[in-house]
Amino acid sequence: MSLFDAFRFDGKRALVVGGASGMGAAAAELLLDAGAEVVVMDRAAVTLPGVQPVHVDLAERGSVDAALEEAGGPFDALLCCAGVADGTPGIERINFVAHRYLVDRLLDRDALPRGSAIGMISSAAGLGWEANLEQLTELLETTDWDAAVDWFQRHGKADYMSTKQAMCAYVARQAHPLMKRGIRINAICPGPTDTPLAQANKDLWLTFAADYRADVGTEPSTPIEQACALVFLCSPAAAAISGQTLISDQGYLAAGLTGAFPDATPVAQFMFGRLG
């Protein structure tokens, strides 16, 4: 036994939602390598050897219920990694409502025991949520599935940025009640990352911050680089961290906020809701 064991998952069970590809698949692979027993939920086929695959359609509440029955529990780590881009039917359910519903059902079953952790993949698009907290609080207090879907649609918020802002606000708001149960919750807000979803939207997603990467000599992040940050936040090594959204963007937004890379300053101010 060594101090570094706090970064491992030996003897622990992990559930990765959206783990068939991209950052979710990388996280599932990393968890396996760290000693965890891993269950992977996804609508797409799960091809990673050594995990328990469970089919789920996050746009359908009945599918989530069935997937939870099949997955069982308890889980020491829950990684919510599924997400879709603008234009996808049911985006508000897939990107936020279903994830929150899944967390609530696991809590109802005591399937997230004391000492467990929740990690979510948000986005830099979700930053600046504080400026919209009053409206987002209304959503966060609307816990019924259908009522939450109606909230997104009624407010014209069934889009990528709004669902990611909802996720960031949810992580911050839930830190206190979950910590009372001994559960931590955090998220990462990745910068451009070379995933299948990003490739499908590469003209927008992978060109973002390209001038910064050219200046510092880097490429878009790899899925495993983002997975390392997410898995760390769910490990015992991160026991002091909860309610946080970790910006994993190679320093782009920090360089913009401080003026170290002036071309990023307007973007950073916009993303953090600090314009005007």
Q: How far apart are CA 215 and CA 234, in angstroms?
A: 33
pLDDT (tens place) for every residue of the chain, 276 residues total? 799 999 999 999 999 999 999 999 999 999 999 999 999 999 999 999 999 999 999 999 999 999 999 999 999 999 999 999 999 999 999 999 999 999 999 999 999 999 999 999 999 999 999 999 999 999 999 999 999 999 999 999 999 999 999 999 999 999 999 999 999 999 999 999 998 878 887 877 788 899 999 999 999 999 999 999 999 999 999 999 999 999 999 999 999 999 999 999 999 999 998 875
Q: How far apart are CA 143 and CA 104, in angstroms?
A: 9
User: Residue 112 — left, alpha, or beta (φ > 0 → left; ψ -120 to 50 → alpha)?
Assistant: beta
Sheet bearing 13-17, strands edge to edge? 52-55, 37-42, 13-17, 77-80, 117-121, 184-190, 245-248
Q: What is the CATH number of domain 3-201+222-252?
A: 3.40.50.720
Tell me if 9 sits within 8 A of 77, measured CB to CB: yes
